[in-house]
Chain A
Amino acid sequence: MTVRTAELLMAILLGLASIGLMVKSAELNITWIPNRGPGAGAWPFWLSAGMLICCLATLYRWFRGITPESRNNNVFMTRETMRIVGVSAGAILFLLSATHFIGLYLSLVFFLLFYIRFVGRHSWVVTIALTIGVPVFIFCLFEWALKIPLPKAVTEPWFYPIYDLMYS
């Protein structure tokens, strides 16, 4: 896909999203209510309408070749970019999905193991130090100092002994 095509697709997509937002806002009152001012939906409705106009303007400018992107026939995502960005986005996607099932801490271990050992090809010493050190640091900072429990899912019982230590 070229940058030119990407800009067109993005403008169409954002335009459709704007229409969607307008429809969604119109579920609420978008008119003037006497003595109460504008209805709850008025503000987002008119803002979305403005977004739609901006998208139409971008489409017009694309059509006329005014924006630099609309004249750019280079590849939007080169293979190298796809690889480097895709690995990161994919790894985060895994981290978030896995958190729902095996909790954040165990997911962090796999995430770091993958990134440091298999992407970065660092030594096992560095890998192990970080895969253990980072979750421990996060635990101390958030659970212990900030008192913010992070999601643990099925690994919750593993933490009972630590809770006993922390709150006894």
Chain B
Amino acid sequence: MGDILGLLAGGLAEALQPLNFGMILLGCVLGLLVGAMPGLGSVNGVAILLPITFLVPPNAAIIFLAAIYYGAMYGGAISSITLGIPGASTAVATVFDGRPLAVAGKADKALTAAAMASFIGGTISVVLFTLFAPPLAEFALRFGPVEEFALMLLAFATFIGLGGDDIPKTIFSILIGLVLAAIGLDIITGQPRLIFGDITGFMHGINFLVLAIGIYGIGEMLWTLEQTKGEVVVHNVKLSMKEIFKDIKDVKHYIGTTSMGSVLGYFVGTLPAAGATPASLMSYGLAKTFSKDPESFGKGNVSGVAAPEAANNAASTGSMLPMITLGIPGSPTTAILLGGMIIWGLRPGPLLFTEHPEFVWGLIGSLYIANLMTLIINLLFIPVFVKILTLPFTILAPTIYILCVVGGYAPTQTMHDVWLMFIFGVAGYLLRKLDYPVAPAVLAIVLGPLAERSLRQSLLSSQGDPMIFLERPISLACILIAVALAMVPVVQKIKRRKKREAEQA
């Protein structure tokens, strides 16, 4: 325990260095903005802005991106409350009570509660993260390629079991992500693979950023334009510092539900397919169940705003746990962070703690500071953010497209990648319209090379016998859980059918 406190102190000192602290501030502000824009969330912000982080060293870059992640979770509430449109899917549950409060002229109460709850959620989850990460990383040091591959199967299985989307389409999305990752030179034999039309651009493979920016930049913007028809109506918000300070005192009314929601959110967040959106919905449900006045939920109960906001912030920290300790991202956003780490020349996983402690602890330290900074910035500048929301899409959309095009060009500096990004963006948009989930593909393209290497290494060591995955205890456990997860939808279907038959009988 003393060890952890010492390392944490070092991490905080690292995060407070001028460059890193500046990155936290910038990241928080950008995150709040991205989160507040309808349709855009942390994943979009991180995907679009990752290329510009080549400007700073990896430590500062990850701190910047993590701060965006954090800020976006706070920011999502702003548009949920003032526009009645969730700023990101993670803030859907915030609309339920946030909107009625705004309509009743109590937007300030809702916004303050969202900020305070996010802070509580962030704090509780960062403490949990600090306690859980080092032992988990130490445990994961024992993992070989067999365990690594089993763990990835488990990560993909969570999409099938918990994703809630059409199963053949979900599996398709995972597989196409893995195939896209296989394009280029084979890592083991060095042979060129899947070079379509002998275009040399495919030789260096498809950078995960090309897919991520395509889907989360261009595709998402097209989707948002379709959903909002380019029109937003801001609900009138009157705010003064005096009001806000008065509202902060209300925290005692919802501290219980937020703490509960934070712990729940943290653990749900660690699961790759679950993450912040289901966590916030579950937390909302929990708050309603345990409330003395469940009737008032959905009509403007402050706890109904606080509970989901605490959970989505906690989940964002939770999703970093498997990324840092196991090298398996807990959400699409952390998948992009993980890809970034690979670009910066770091190998995510348990060794990170021993080989680059300043990186890991600097990140953890920055989470504490980002959490506090976002709260302060949020409370001080809520009116400014609300103003920015009124930016017409005809200014916002071209700016985002340009950032996507330039960001898609920067990592490899070929137009080939920019064209691919555009194609992925349009294809992603069309697929999304037909209910194909896109997040699994992004996770898969990041994990693809690691998955293939660990599979081939495992099979090589067992002379091609796949039973090796069932002979090692940790791998066996992962595979059993993966199978159980994949069975969840089947079991649910049978249950529903039985229930229907029972009702008919």
Digitize B401-420: 1 where CB-to-A-CB distance is under 8 Å, 0 elsewhere. Answer: 11001100110010100110
A10 to chain B, nearest CB (A): 5
B6-59: which have CB < 8 Å to A?
52, 54-55
The yes or no answer to B474 lying at the interface (CB within 8 A) is: no
Chain A residue nearest in CB terms to B53: A146
B201-256: which have CB < 8 Å to A?
218, 221-222, 225-226, 229-230
Give chain B's interface residue range (CB within 8 Å of chain A): 35 or more
- In contact, A148 and B166 (Cβ under 8 angstroms): no
A129 and B475 alpha carbons, distance in the complex (Å) = 59
Q: Which residues of B contact A37 (CB under 8 A)?
A: 188, 456, 459-460, 464
Q: Which residues of B contact A88 (CB under 8 A)?
A: 221-222, 225, 397, 401
Chain A residue nearest in CB terms to B392: A120
From B394, B406, B430, A138 is in contact (CB under 8 Å) with: B406
- In contact, A100 and B225 (Cβ under 8 angstroms): no
Q: With A14-B172, A67-B166, A146-B52 as known contacts, state yes or no: A85 contacts B222, CB within 8 Å.
A: yes
B410 to chain A, nearest CB (A): 5
Digitize A102-133: 1 where CB-to-B-CB distance is under 8 Å, 0 elsewhere. Answer: 00100010011001100111100010001000
Q: Which residues of A contact B433 (CB under 8 A)?
A: 3, 6, 76
A126 and B394 alpha carbons, distance in the complex (Å) = 11
Q: With A10-B430, A28-B193, A85-B429 as known contacts, state yes or no: A43 contacts B182, CB within 8 Å.
A: yes
The yes or no answer to B398 lying at the interface (CB within 8 A) is: yes
Q: Which residues of B contact A148 (CB under 8 A)?
A: 54, 410, 413
- In contact, A119 and B182 (Cβ under 8 angstroms): no
The yes or no answer to B434 lying at the interface (CB within 8 A) is: yes
Q: Which residues of B contact A89 (CB under 8 A)?
A: 222, 426
From B193, B221, B222, B229, A25 is in contact (CB under 8 Å) with: B193
Q: Which residues of A contact B426 (CB under 8 A)?
A: 89
The dominant DSSP class at the B interface is helix
Chain A residue nearest in CB terms to B168: A57
Q: Which residues of A contact B189 (CB under 8 A)?
A: 36, 39-40
B145 to chain A, nearest CB (A): 12
- In contact, B171 and A146 (Cβ under 8 angstroms): no
The yes or no answer to A12 lying at the interface (CB within 8 A) is: no
Q: Which residues of A contact B459 (CB under 8 A)?
A: 37-38
Which of B179, B188, B193 has the largest number of chain A CB atoms within 10 A? B179
Chain A residue nearest in CB terms to B170: A54
Q: Which residues of A contact B168 (CB under 8 A)?
A: 54-55, 57-58, 61
A54 and B54 alpha carbons, distance in the complex (Å) = 38
From A54, A115, A146, A151, B55 is in contact (CB under 8 Å) with: A146
- In contact, B431 and A10 (Cβ under 8 angstroms): yes
- In contact, B394 and A122 (Cβ under 8 angstroms): yes
Q: Which residues of A contact B222 (CB under 8 A)?
A: 85, 88-89
Q: Which residues of B contact A130 (CB under 8 A)?
A: 395
The yes or no answer to B435 lying at the interface (CB within 8 A) is: yes
A19 and B66 alpha carbons, distance in the complex (Å) = 40
A142 and B54 alpha carbons, distance in the complex (Å) = 10
- In contact, A41 and B225 (Cβ under 8 angstroms): no
Q: Which residues of B contact A6 (CB under 8 A)?
A: 433-434
Q: With A51-B176, A81-B226, A88-B221 as known contacts, state yes or no: A68 contacts B410, CB within 8 Å.
A: no
Digitize A48-69: 1 where CB-to-B-CB distance is under 8 Å, 0 elsewhere. Answer: 1011001101100100000111
